[in-house]
Amino acid sequence: MHRIITVIYTEEMVRDAVRAFVWRRLIINQKRLWVAEAVIILLFAWQLSGDGAGWVIGVLGVAALLYPSMIVLAWVAHYRNTVGKFRKMSTREATFALRDEGFDVASELGSAQIPWSTVTEIWQRPTYWMIFTAINQFMTLPIQAASLDDLDFMKSKVRSAIS
């Protein structure tokens, strides 16, 4: 199969993709870190209520702020990267070519050939898909111009990656 899909991006879509990534990858999927965060906050509160050593309170206070700070920094980095690339596009269009071996994506900013074997996850959103090639690297595929056959073809190539 060789099918060409021309898609159009909106700023709302790319901002939502960043928000979805941060929410799901860094907040929802990190239950153990949130348990550790709660324990640190409880220890911090316990130390504040007693006559704990000043340095212990300081260490616990900094530790309590680490993960939330990392989330904010990750959001800023992904937002600047994703929305920044979008704003550099004058046409807001990209072309996806679906092939049996993979897919090609091209826009005025560049092009890439992606083998299906490098797709690690696909998150299906209402108006677009987020196609991951690494745990923190994704591209957005607006699905308004894709036919059901195109989407089914992609699903068949990466069945285990769909979520």
Q: What is the dihedral of CA 27, 31, 36, 40, to 10 degrees?
A: 50
Alpha helix locations (H) across 10-53?
11-21, 31-49
**Whose structure tokens read 């239950």?**
31
pLDDT at 1: 56
Could you read off the pLDDT tens digit of each residue along the chain, which spans 163 residues?
578 999 999 999 999 999 999 999 988 888 888 888 888 888 888 887 777 667 777 788 888 888 898 899 999 999 999 999 999 999 999 999 999 999 999 999 999 999 999 999 999 999 999 999 998 899 999 999 899 999 999 988 887 766 6
Q: How far apart are alpha carbons 129 and 106 in whole angstroms?
A: 16
Instruction: Please name each of the domains of the chain with its CATH number.
Output: 3-10+91-161 (2.30.29.30), 15-86 (no CATH)
pLDDT at 132: 94
Closest CA to 81 of 143, 22, 3: 22
Q: Read off the amino acid at residue 34.
A: W
Cβ atoms 18, 82 nearer than 8 A:
yes
The residues, ordered by sequence, that sit 6+ positions from 36 with a Cβ below 8 Å of its Cβ are 67
Cβ atoms 9, 109 nearer than 8 A:
no
pTM here?
0.81
With H, G, I as helix, E, B as strand and everything else as coil, classify residue 133. Answer: strand
